[in-house]
Amino acid sequence: MRVAVGSDHAGYELKKRALEWLTIRGVEVLDLGPVEYDAKDDYPDFARAVAESVGSGGADLGLLVCSTGVGSCIAANKVPQVRAALCHDSFSARMSREHNDANVLCLGANIVGPSLAREIVEAWLSGDFSGEKRHRRRVAKIAEMEMLLRPKQ
């Protein structure tokens, strides 16, 4: 499994910890930045990089960290084929994978501490899409909306 990871300045320290956890777990990590703390690092830039990596198949999953997780989640969900979920607890994280086939996890570094963040990441990674008919139907409706609402080029 390959996971693309990114953060803004507010999520930088938690992102570094997440990289360690993923590596220890044996996950192939694609660190899309930032590589050092810079207060000018904006979440849309890193959310786009991670989401495009997932949406294009360059990574299987993505992990984004910003101050609340909200901005990264909004930005990531603009990318086709991305289903980003903002999770502040392990139950939501697991359900986002099992029911919604979420492929990007967003965390708020100012909302969850490192210990809870690790639990959330573990729960999210251990979940798989159930493939149940009702969940496939719902995810297909999301994909249909994405296609219908995408601007014509």
Name residue 137's amino acid: R
Among 9, 66, 73, 106, the active-site one is 66
Residue with tokens 């909302």: 111
- 99 catalytically annotated: yes
Does the annotation mark 66 as catalytic? yes
9, 73, 87, 99: the catalytic one is: 99
Amino acid present at 84: A
Alpha-carbon span 4 to 31, nearest angstrom = 6
Question: Environment class of residue 140 by beta-carbon count within 10 Å: exposed (0-12), middle (13-18) or buried (19+)?
Answer: exposed
Closest CA to 105 of 35, 22, 9, 38: 22
Query: What is the set of active-site residues?
Result: 66, 99
